[in-house]
A and B are shown apart, each in its own frame.
Chain A
Amino acid sequence: MEEKNFICTACPTGCRLIVRMEGDEVVKILGNRCRKGETYGRQEAIAPQRMVASTVRVANGFHPLLPVYTKGSIPKRRIAEVLEKIRAVEVQAPLSAEDVIISNVIGTGVNVVASRDMPAKE
């Protein structure tokens, strides 16, 4: 039996998780104070996931950059690929919060969306 130690990031509490593994299978999760911790620990032990936030260039925007984020978690090991896609994008103002900037980014099924309204330059 193998034990993995994690700090849960599902909320700011930061529970210390102990995940007991039998090969590739999770058999027990200890230390979590809620159900989110259980889900996080299981996922983290098998295939860690993260949300990603960055910026894209905006043409004609009130600001030169638009903050964007993945509307859901993506595999941690693919963050660099997602960032590369985000870096290649340039959008045109005006835009609204939640507007889809990249749909189904690198086939993850997750959209990259705008984090705020971005009015056009006056």
Chain B
Amino acid sequence: MGEKRRVTLEVNGMPYEQDVEVRLTLADFLRHQLRLTGTHIGCEHGVCGACTVLVDGLSVRSCLMLAAQANGSEITTVEGIAPSDNELHPLQEAFRDHHGLQCGFCTPGMLTTLLEFLRDNPSPTERDVREAISGNLCRCTGYQGIVDSALDAAERLRGQDKTTVPDGGHAL
């Protein structure tokens, strides 16, 4: 219909070469053109974070990028987090153990955001975690399960035995 651009990119390790309408957002491209519907759309104005994906390893609101801008990029979506169909990533296991999701709609954005965060901050405090996900809105969980999941995942990823003790009261 409208003007198109050819984009070549990698998503979850798989190469793609596609023609995209220039005004197609990266979120819609992933969801409808690649049928990777795990990335969700909650607001389309860059506040809720449900659409967060990793572009070249950095968390990005995919509703605020044009698909055409992703040419040459490596993208990780929620579908690319688990190592296989039989295993979950430690972060996902932690979410399951600590009730880090209820309806699951904000979850993909939480997971990609935390993947980047834990990679760059392997030993976070509770406050660090809360700030890291402050740009991801959840209406179901009250965030506590997500915070506990992230702190547990940090520990698993560090491969240590000691338990991280969350702050009591307000995490300042």
A binds B: no
Give residues in B with beta carbon < 8 Å to A. none
Question: Which A positions have Cβ atoms within 8 angstroms of B?
Answer: none
